[in-house]
Amino acid sequence: MTFMKMHRLLIFSIMFCISYGQEARPHPPKITTPDVEERIYYKINDEVILACQAEANPKAQYEWTKDNEAITSDFIKQDPNTGELQIATLTRRETGAYQCFASNQIGSKTIKAMSPIITVDLAYLESWDETGLPPPRISAIEGEAVQLTCDNVPACNPPGQFKWYQGDDDSSEVVQNERIAIDAEGTLHFVYVTKSDDLNGKKYQCAIFNRHLNSINLGSGKILEVTKLNPIPDRAPSVLYSKSNQKALIGHYVDIECIFGGKPIPAISWKNNELELITGSSTDKYEFMDTSRRVLRVKNIQESDEGSFTCEGANTQTNSAITALNVTSRPIWEKALSSITVAATKEASMTCQAKSVIRENPPGPPEWFENGASIPNDKFESGKYVFSDNQQILKVTDLVKPDDTTCFQCKVTNSEGFRFGDGCLDVIEPIVITLRPPAVQEITKGDIVNLTVIAETNSPFEIRYKWFFNNQTYDDMPPFVIFNDTSKSAYINTEDLSFENYRKINGTYIRMVYNAHETINITVQVVLKEVAVVGPATAAAPDLWWIALIIGILLLVCVIVIICVVCRRKAQEGVYPLDKKERANDLDPEKDLADSGFHDLSRADDNGMEKKGTPLQFTEEPLSYEDDDSLAEYGDGEDMGKFNEDGSFIGVYMDKKQPAPPVRNGNETQI
């Protein structure tokens, strides 16, 4: 039991600590309910309850407005602590645009966030006026197209749906089929009439249905008299119903309707704004709402749907109608105003950016408000606030905590209506860099590259770090960087690096210091002084350097061995003079040294070249080897010489395959 209690206490404390980090810090209200704008239909005398809720510290107080004004009506009650608004019995008087303010106190200022607009609307359906007149009579001959209009339609909110009934009792609804259709304005169409459509003096009656109220009102009767005709003649298609223009709202759908008269019943086909035939009864974009294809639904309206849709009715002949779809919209957010958290001393950009659909006038510059009221001019005069981009961006400069913590609202309007945005600016303590390394560091091998960055903050958001080196991200550390977790120092000790690795450390190091709301880049440029001085020849061939050095050393050893041999021989016969041709091929060692600037390397190159050079050609001059084995080793060349009495070899040696042994004269070996 005790253990359980302690366990719970522990969990509670942890949770408290976690929530403390988020909640304890004073911050502006963030409205969570309502979160989107909405139109809600109620019936007359309904009770209406609207909720408003915000996350805030200190706790938010709530106030609703109706049609942008404070609410004074006795019939609307609101609770500033819970955010609830109540209309006990709704009448038309209480309908309108409601908006909630959530406010709290930060520093000495009242901060107000505003909710999206909730429109309280009344669903209603009025009665048909009793005209007292007998129903009008419509006469037609069999085969003619006939239209019965629905007259004096009473007000209906939201817009109703039309139906027709036949006879006196209202239970026999007219069923739409290939030959009978009701258009969007309530007119009943007969593609062609037959005697069976004549109700023998009884009337056709139009009705309007309010889906929201689930109620229907019957009115406007018409009597149809049809004269028989035999045979019924064929008739070419005629357009009974089509709209030349239709508005379509971005993101919504639109129904385009086309009714043809004619006999036989014209078959209907559609072409879209790209003049492509619409096939299939339902796709992602198009759907036929009835089997006769009189109603085409264009779904998820986009700007690309703007243009002319063509319907064609065909029996033995054809006819067609065109509906121009005008795609339009209230301002469309490109970047809606939203809440941001920014560190003090920085600047904040509040953005309220919206567009109209293509080919329509763009919205005017947004209207801005601060905490629900217009912004005092001195904020702009002092340069504290700066507008840019046609007032779509409001910059707050040189942020101060908590004075600049505030909420903004914006309203963007175009020909189709407006949109409202809300966003708060929360100013937090900045990250302070207490130690930063020199920005440019010129390094000689043996130096320490100093990359130590130390940062502190009083904000509750944890500081994190990231490394970049020459545009590459390093989750741990760039190559050769040592990080001491105790002292938090970061450095490169160039003394411990090989020359090859040392050459890799130049470039740009970025220590990114960041938290959830701020990023600071500390940049260090490392320049290698030593490498910079040496000419491009060395830098160009870094890989050959070692190979060249090893070859150089090996050749040097060979040369020394051979020199020893020659010296011994010289002691016996004198010096072998270098051939003129050899001199010509040999590079000047002094010049090489000057060119390359690197002693060992130039030496290696020099030797390497000589090895590949023209083989030595002995003419008259004798050359002796210590023994016969060495001679055999150096050539299967034609032996044209002979041995001296003392055993030394005299003659001409012509090498065919292998280079001659490298031989140096005395001067060279002294180097």
Ligand X SMILES: *[C@@H]1O[C@H](CO)[C@@H](O)[C@H](O)[C@H]1NC(C)=O
Which spans of this chain sit near ligand X (rule: CB under 6 A)? 326, 328, 360, 415, 435, 437-438, 448, 450, 452, 468, 470-471, 484, 486-487, 489, 491, 506-507, 510, 512, 519, 521, 528, 531-532, 539
* Contact assessment for residue 423 and residue 350, using Cβ atoms and an 8 Å cutoff: yes
At its nearest, how many Å lie between ligand X and the CB of residue 464? Answer: 13
Nearer to ligand X, 288 or 465 (CB): 465
Query: What three-state secondary structure class fits 667?
Result: helix
At its nearest, how many Å lie between ligand X and the CB of residue 476? Answer: 16
Nearer to ligand X, 516 or 560 (CB): 516
At its nearest, how many Å lie between ligand X and the CB of residue 460? Answer: 21
Nearer to ligand X, 392 or 414 (CB): 414
Strand partners for 62: 102
* Contact assessment for residue 325 and residue 318, using Cβ atoms and an 8 Å cutoff: no
At its nearest, how many Å lie between ligand X and the CB of residue 413? Answer: 13
Query: How many CB atoms are located within 10 Å of the residue 556 CB?
Result: 16
Nearer to ligand X, 387 or 491 (CB): 491
Nearer to ligand X, 386 or 482 (CB): 482
Q: How far is CA 488 from CA 148, 236, 450, in A?
A: 88, 91, 12
Cα three-residue angle 77-79-81, rounded to 5 degrees: 175
Question: Which helix (H) or strand (E) is 256 found in, with range?
Answer: strand 254-263
Nearer to ligand X, 56 or 343 (CB): 343
Q: Would you give the distance in Å from CA 62 to the centre of its chain?
A: 35
At its nearest, how many Å lie between ligand X and the CB of residue 361? Answer: 7
Query: How many CB atoms are located within 10 Å of the residue 373 CB?
Result: 9
Strand partners for 426: 341
Q: Can you tell me which residue has the tokens 């091998």? A: 445
Distance of alpha carbon 230 from alpha carbon 75, whole angstroms: 68
**In sequence order, what are the residues at sequence separation of 6 or more whose Cβ sits closer than 8 angstroms to the Cβ of residue 365?**
390, 391, 392
* Amino acid at residue number 215: S
Nearer to ligand X, 263 or 330 (CB): 330
**Looking at beta carbons, which residue is closest to ligand X?**
507
Q: Would you give the distance in Å from CA 667 to the centre of its chain?
A: 73
Report the Cα–Cα distance between both ends of the chain, in Å, rounded: 93
Count the residues in the chain: 671
Question: Which helix (H) or strand (E) is 593 found in, with range?
Answer: helix 589-596
At its nearest, how many Å lie between ligand X and the CB of residue 425? Answer: 19
Nearer to ligand X, 458 or 493 (CB): 493
At its nearest, how many Å lie between ligand X and the CB of residue 327? Answer: 8
At its nearest, how many Å lie between ligand X and the CB of residue 505? Answer: 9
HSE-up of 462 (CA within 13 Å, CB side)? 4
Nearer to ligand X, 239 or 512 (CB): 512
At its nearest, how many Å lie between ligand X and the CB of residue 493? Answer: 10
